[in-house]
Structure 1
């Protein structure tokens, strides 16, 4: 399998674009050296690179694609909508259609405003919370990987360069599934915390009994706005979001990823008393709330309406979970058969699977992770995870399990050797979120999702 055209185009990308891509997780340093495919097109669960290689793809556009690439009902709906124009001086009928669809789909939402990416709406939620409470501090779940590209969050990560210290000092952290850590933060900053923001669950962590309910109670006790980030859980956990599963209602919620099946759209929703702070029915100082040129353009809105219709007619989440269970069982059985079940493991919610890769000592290893990705690529499977879509067929699953069985033969050799040396071509992949371009921390200090601990 050749990657010569991809490698040539990747060099051009690095010359023209900082990092060689527009998303850190898509960068070439996240793939084996010389094996970073540049995609030409996709169909269903498969993609074609510029070298003519077809791959079964996982990750699905950073988890945004649940219906498959080029899903015709969505593409047709968008194509029909844009023929009548995409951006106007006044609101279009698509704003009303999308808002009505959204509020019917997510009953806990009383109002909604649309944007183009997740960072826009999470930052808007934080701004509303600060305005509503008159407080400055933001409490983030620091054991979850990502909330926004904006300073209030990025300043608290290993990539805080360029963020003033005064802004960094406004963000405090607590731990997931640890109510006492949140209680301690709220008590230590009594009357200063505007909001608590967290994901209700992640691919590898479900809420302990009473945790989300406890977060809700603490927020009410301290007068803090509760924000649930549903970027990933929304439409992957349930058609109504993770709130429909766990039964706890936030004050504000943020959505993105799967709303448009790859088309750009995100949403901020919440209780009317908070959302109206950015509207016309308030006596308070108004919040400048998501007043953007492209937030209401019809492409994303038409895509979302078509996606919502697909979820009404088909059990999309059920399909993803069924295929995900088959995939996880198949690969984990193959690992056991190869005698390396303690080293490679597919874990997580079936609709949002990741894989753990460990070395001969049982420690998480970026080098062994890279070796696994390398061998999967050679066998026709592309992915930094096993995040699936409803478009993955039984044949796609079988192809992936067969590819994993081939990869495990090489992986077993590396375990026996105690090293990937001689088997891994090039450097190990690096964590996407890191302070320095050349990692200065041990490359094994990462979670199973590739995030620095």
Structure 2
């Protein structure tokens, strides 16, 4: 069995993880329950299978320990097995988790959520983000009587459901008639959005977007033209002043519903989400990821007059909003309440920003010192950092990403992104920067050779959204 220090050696070997990945692919399509967790997202034969995690560290089944970033695809923002969250869950488990009628915990969780996100008037919980965003789209179509959905094409993911997945390269099985009802607008461009609303006058039910740009290393939505080169400025991801207010005005003027997807921005931007930070109130918003610190819970929230269309206290046709057997499991709601308490009592959002700023500064300094500051680019809000890997022509490169990830893994850093959790300590950040510097030294050699292939040891990592395996 590998020792704890294996991940810090020059090369990394993961025999047990390799065997487990084969078992995963034999039984689970894609080898994971989320495509972004697939082994194709990691260098060949270097996709660790996790045994357990605590705080900001995870251990693979080969015995290697890693400093982890992007925990649970940004869902574990407090660190793994956070004591307050685990204790809240433990208290509920022996009391039962699901009943034939609502638990008192459902109203308590709703009260806590609406106190934390005061821009919303009603909330309904479910298990995953796709259910929440699709419910928001369905509600917008119902209240407006319009068929089209306008999505922000600069944001990479909204739902696993047909109205969105039909627009991606993985559109097999989705009727073209469904896909044609989804149109796109660019983030930050009010004029282009108004032109779209005018061109489809009276047809667009909603505008749905992340209120702050996700700042992916490269554009991933097929709804927008893909540039051949991406310079990856060190963008904060914040909207330009007046942009969200301008969208609010456009939605009102054209009679469509404004939906903020706060799956990522919720809690990481502020306890009340980006809408609380920027002071622009959407009609509907969706929350998830950080809400449960890894437990399955998400939320659709918004204006009472809209949300009540899915209830019993209105006189019109009923909307099938959300009805999920496990949507109100008591232990997940208890986890959400504990997360909100922790964020407000401990100032978690501010800590995430401080940690991210320290990490970003260290990585940028390390990259610059090794002569690759224009090729390894950190961008995004400090609490939600991503990195881009650029080739000798400063174009995004999956090959250079593979090289970089290999060196990080060899140094004991598991980092598909640089998204921080509050469990990280200064020593973790310092070690990460040290490993990044070592990786940058190899990166420089590959750039000088104008060919990273000798340092890949296998196929490059692949984009999540692609038509062929």
Deviations 1:138-178 (A, max 9, x none): 01111110100000111111111111111111111110001
CA distance in 1, matches of 2:270, 2:147: 33
**Aligned partners of 1:195, 1:385: CA distance in 2, in Å?**
31
Looking at structure 1, the residues matched to 294 and 141 of structure 2 have their Cα atoms a distance apart, in angstroms, of 31
Unaligned runs of 5+ in 2: 1-11, 216-236
Match of 1:372 among 398, 404, 414: 404
Q: CA RMSD in A?
A: 0.8
Please list, as runs of the form range in 1=range in 2, the aligned pairs for 1:119-138 lying within 5 A after superposition.
Answer: 119-138=130-149
* TM-fit CA distance, 1:88: 0.3
- Moved beyond 6 Å, runs of 4+: none
Measured against aligned partners, the alpha-carbon deviations of 1:177-228 in whole angstroms (never above 9, x if no partner) come to: 0111211111111111111100111243321121111111111001101100
Q: Secondary structure at the match of 1:242?
A: helix
Q: Is 2:295 the counterpart of 1:263?
A: yes
Q: Which moved more, 1:283-292 or 1:45-54?
A: 283-292
For 1:138, what is the secondary structure of its paired residue? strand
**1:114 matched residue in structure 2:** 125
Q: CA deviation at 1:60?
A: 0.9
The reply on whether 1:220 has 2:252 as its aligned counterpart is yes
1:409 aligns with 2:435: no
Q: Secondary structure at the match of 1:228?
A: strand
Matched, 1:429 2:440: no
The residue number in structure 1 matching 2:82 is 71
- Number of residue pairs matched? 437
Say which of 190, 197, 207 aligns to 2:239.
207
Task: Name the SS of the counterpart of 1:197 in structure 2.
Answer: strand
Question: Residue 67 of structure 2: SS of its match in structure 1?
Answer: strand
- Give 1:312 deviation, angstroms: 1.8
Distance 2:213 2:293 in 1: 20
C-alpha offsets along residues 55-113 of structure 1, whole Å, 9 cap, x if unaligned?
Answer: 00001110011110010110111011111000001100110110000010001110000
Aligned residue number for residue 339 of structure 1: 371
Aligned to 1:171: 182
Q: Distance in 1 between matches of 2:83 and 2:127?
A: 22
**TM-score under structure 1 normalisation?**
0.95
Which position in structure 2 is the counterpart of 1:98?
109
Within 1, Cα distance between the matches of 2:395 and 2:165? 28
Paired residues of 2:154 and 2:213 also in contact (CA < 8 A): no
- In 1: Cα distance, 2:65 partner to 2:162 partner: 39
How far residue 400 of structure 1 moved from its aligned partner, in angstroms, is 0.3
How many angstroms apart in 1 are the aligned matches of 2:19 and 2:195? 52
Structure 1 contact 32–374 (Cα < 8 Å) conserved: yes
Q: Is 1:317 matched up with 2:349?
A: yes
Q: Which residue of the partner structure matches residue 279 of structure 1?
A: 311
Matched, 1:197 2:208: yes
Alignment of 1:355 with 2:387, yes or no, is yes
TM-score normalised according to structure 2 size: 0.92
Name the residue aligned to 1:440. none
CA contact (8 A) 1:138 1:193 kept: yes
Q: Does the Cα contact within 8 Å between 1:202 and 1:233 map onto a contact in 2?
A: no
